[in-house]
Amino acid sequence: MSSAEQCDVLIAGAGPAGLAAALFLIKCRPALAGRIFALEKARHPRPKVCAGGLVPKTLAALDHLGVPLDVPSVEVIAGTARTEIGSVILPPGDVLCTIVRRDQFDSSLAAAARRAGVRIVENCRVDQVEEGADSVRVRSEQGVFEAPILIGADGSGSRVRRAIFNPDREFIGRGLMIDLPVSAESSVEFRDHILRFDFACVAAGVRGYAWSFPCLINGQPHLNIGIYDQTADRPLSNKLLIPELRKAFAELDIPGDSQRFRAFPIRWFDAEARFASRRVLLAGDAAGVDPLMGEGISYAFEHGRAAAGSISRFLDGDRNALTDYDHVLRHGSIGRKLSRLAFAARKFYGPRHRIYFRMAHLSRKAQQIGVNWYNGARMLDEMPARRLIARWITAVLLRRSVR
């Protein structure tokens, strides 16, 4: 048997989920500096196809970790969402989302992790994972690594997930996107600091939505334009998705040539899946993200925080810690939120979607509460359901603030 590089915690994937777990771990156990290895199949800054939206809860996690947001970004403070029933408008207010380029953001996060003592091994694709009674061995392009615990944070196509958990069903949607240069003066997204969503494509059979986000590429204003389809059992072709995207934003010069678009998989949350074994945890896209909107960065940080807590207890001798992590991802605040979003996806993208879009138009207060809950603003997403409903009734019926 070949000798293996030994460490205390091994992470497959050096993206937001894996690096967040490492940073949370070192924050609570500084002695782990230099003893956490993250294996990255590419090299930072590496291309990453993603809209790159950071919601307020993600920014709060960065602040807690002491990691500055030191990459070019665009803050958005308003939003519109078009549906078959009409348009929903969120007027200017608090920051709804901060748009970054993922190659820059992930590279900055990796630099912060290195400063904290995480050893990132790049150009190191995971080939094989073997879980033993006392450790996990990973064979890779850069050799063999061994640790008492492994975090599988290697994306929607996770090799760790396939090797250890052998899933019998997969819930993987698809995103398709393109970046278009624009004038900041004439673009409503830049001028009004606004996000635009379009759910009218649901009528055409798309289980998802189209989006237009403002972003900066090499300092120049662009629109990140894309369409998300949640469908797992019958992926829709570009021949359907691209025309629906062009219809959603007909005033933009969106090309019809599919070769100019970039596609990416989005694994969404399955409450019946397993997220932990004896010595392996899944985090981020490997575990599954928001089924309704396909958003994953905030869950990468939430999974990272939860994984760090469980691993710290595991290293202290608590052999139930990883089972507890699985429970948190299923039934804790993370799991409850994702389950509710899965329920919403079934309704808004289902055969009776017009009814639910009509309900969403009834109250502007309810819309604002829903957005704040989704963004994790003021920790609304961790509030027990009864208290959240009580606040909703107070805000909507009595016209008082939800704060």
Contacts 24+ apart (CB under 8 A), 370-379: 371/79, 371/90, 371/96, 372/402, 374/55, 374/293, 375/55, 375/56, 375/57, 375/96, 375/97, 376/55, 376/56, 376/57, 376/60, 376/298, 377/56, 377/57, 377/94, 378/403
User: Quick one: CA torsion of 284, 69, 107, 379, rounded to 10 degrees?
Assistant: 0
Q: Are 17 and 304 in contact (CB under 8 A)?
A: yes
State whether residue 296 is helix, strand or coil: coil
d(Cα 44, Cα 5) in Å, to the nearest integer?
A: 22
Q: Count the neighbouring beta carbons within 10 Å of the beta carbon of residue 342.
A: 19
Q: What is the CA radius of gyration of the chain?
A: 21
Phi, psi (5° rounding) for residue 258? Answer: -65, -20
Position 370 scores a pLDDT of 82
Q: pLDDT of the chain along its 403 residues, tens only?
A: 468 999 999 999 999 999 999 999 999 999 999 999 999 999 999 988 888 999 999 999 999 999 999 999 999 999 999 999 999 999 999 999 999 999 999 999 999 999 999 999 999 999 999 999 999 999 999 999 999 999 999 999 999 999 999 777 788 999 999 999 999 999 999 999 999 999 999 999 999 999 999 999 999 999 999 999 998 667 678 889 999 999 999 999 999 888 899 999 999 999 999 999 999 999 999 999 999 999 999 999 999 999 999 999 999 999 899 999 999 999 999 999 999 999 999 999 999 999 999 988 887 877 887 888 888 876 767 776 667 666 666 665 555 544 4
| Backbone φ, ψ for residue 25 (5° rounding) | -65, -50
Supply the pLDDT for residue 166.
79
Residue 119 class from Cβ within 10 Å (0-12 exposed, 13-18 middle, 19+ buried)? Answer: middle
Strands (E) in 25-73, as ranges, are: 36-39, 53-54
Query: What are φ and ψ of residue 42, in 5° steps?
Result: -110, -155
- 208 forms beta bridges with 229
Residue carrying structure tokens 């009674």: 133
For 294, the token pair is: 């396909």
